[in-house]
Amino acid sequence: MIGLDPTTAIAEPRRSPQVREDLGWADLRGALAAGWADFLAMPGFGLFFGGVYVVAGLAIGWATITGGSLTWLIPAIAGFPLVAPFVAVGLYEASRRRAAGEALSWRAVLTALKGHGDDQILSMGVIVFVAFAFWMIVAHAIFAIFVGESGMGRDPLAALITAPGLAMLGVGSAVGGVMAFAFYAMTVISLPLLLERKVDFLTAIITSLAVVRRNPAVMIGWAAVIAVVLFAALLPAFLGLLVALPVLGHATWHLYVRAVV
C-alpha cells in the first residue's frame, strides 16, 4: 500500500506538533471569514474543485438511478461528503500560498496531493476511499436488515415512510453520524498538516484527534457547520457545492492554522 512503510518514521523521527487547547468561537468565525475572503480572492481554484465535486456527485446519482440501484443512492449521497477533505487538499494549498505570499499557479495547486514527495497524503487518500467503501457496505447491510425482503418497490419514497423504512433511516442516520464524526476527527487537521509539514500520516491523525479532544465544543461546532452547509448545498442538484466546498475548504485551512502551534 502506498506510503505505509513504517521504516520511514523509524529512520526519521519527527516531533509531534503542539496543539492549542483554547480554541474559541472567535477562531471559528475568523476561519470562516478568511475562507470566504480566499474564495473571493481566487475564485478560479474554488470553482474548479467545487465543479469536480459537483460532476462526481451528479455522476454517482445518474449511475445509481439509471442502473436501477436506488438502494445505493441514499447511502452514496450521505457518504459523499466523506471524500470532501481529500478533494479540498488543493484548496488548502491555495490558501497556504496566498497567506505566505507565494506565487499561485495551477501546477502547484493541482500537484498538492504529492505533498512532500513521501506519499503521506496519498496514504490518507487510501484511508478516505476505504472509509467511503466501508460506509456503503454498512449502509447496504442496514437496508437489507430492515427492508431487504420487501424492497423499495415502484415507489421508493412510499417505502421510506413505512415503519421498516423509517427504522432503516433512523438506524442508518445514527450509525452514519458516528462514522462520519470519527472520520471527521481523523481528517479535519491531518490533511492540512500533511500538506504543510513533513510528518507521517499516523502522526497527522493523532494530532487531528488531539485537536478535537482538547477543543470539543468548537470542533463539534465546526463539524455541525460542515454538515449543515454541505447538506443544504447538495439539495439543488449538488450545485450549491460550487461555493460551499471551496469556502469550507479554505476555512478548514485557516482553522488548522489557528489550532496547530
Q: In the chain, what is the greatest distance between 2 CA atoms, to the nearest angstrom?
A: 60
How much is the pTM? 0.83
Q: How confident is the model at residue 13 (pLDDT cuts 50, 70, 90)?
A: very low
Q: Is 101 left (phi over 0), alpha (psi -120 to 50) or beta?
A: left
CB of 195 closer than 8 Å to CB of 112: yes
Which range has the worst mean pLDDT, 99-108, 113-122, 198-207? 113-122
Sorting pLDDT into bands at 50, 70 and 90, what band is 107? very high
| pLDDT band (50, 70, 90) for residue 233 | confident
Total of domains in the chain: 1
On whether residue 237 sits in a domain, the answer given is yes
Q: What is the pLDDT of residues 165-177, one digit of tens each?
A: 788 888 888 988 8
Reported as type and span, the H/E element at residue 43 is helix 43-66
pLDDT at 82 over 80: no
How confident is the model over 189-231, as pLDDT tens digits? 999 999 999 999 999 999 999 999 999 999 999 999 998 998 8
Q: Is 79 domain-assigned?
A: yes
Q: Which of 67-76, 158-167, 189-198 has the highest mean pLDDT?
A: 189-198
| 27 or 53, greater pLDDT | 27
pLDDT for 80 beyond 90: no
Q: Which domain holds residue 106?
A: 24-122+180-259
Q: Is residue 32 a part of any domain in this protein?
A: yes
Q: What is the pLDDT of residue 105?
A: 93
Does the pLDDT at position 34 exceed 90?
yes
DSSP annotation of 215 reads S
pLDDT score, position 236: 78
Cell numbers placing 63: 449511475
pLDDT score of 3: 47
CB atoms within 10 A of CB 133: 12
Number of H helices, E strands in the chain: 14, 0
Q: What is the pLDDT of residue 221?
A: 96
3-class secondary structure, 67: coil
Helix (H) or strand (E) run with residue 261 in it: none
Q: Is residue 42 part of a domain?
A: yes
**Confidence label for 159 from pLDDT (cuts 50, 70 and 90):** low
Q: Are 193 and 85 in contact (CB under 8 A)?
A: no
Please determine, for residue 186, whether its predicted confidence score (pLDDT) is greater than 70: yes
The answer to whether residue 164 is domain-embedded is no
Q: What distance in Å separates the CA atoms of residue 79 and residue 135, rounded to the nearest whole number?
A: 7
Does residue 149 sit within a domain?
Answer: no
Q: Percentage of residues in the chain with pLDDT exceeding 90?
A: 47
Distance CA 180, CA 196 (A): 25
Distance in angstroms (rounded) separating the CA atoms of residues 20 and 255: 11
pLDDT at 150: 57
Please report, rounded to a whole number, the percentage of residues in the chain having pLDDT higher than 70.
86
Q: If DSSP codes are grouped into helix, strand and coil, which group holds residue 6?
A: coil
Indicate the average pLDDT of the chain: 84
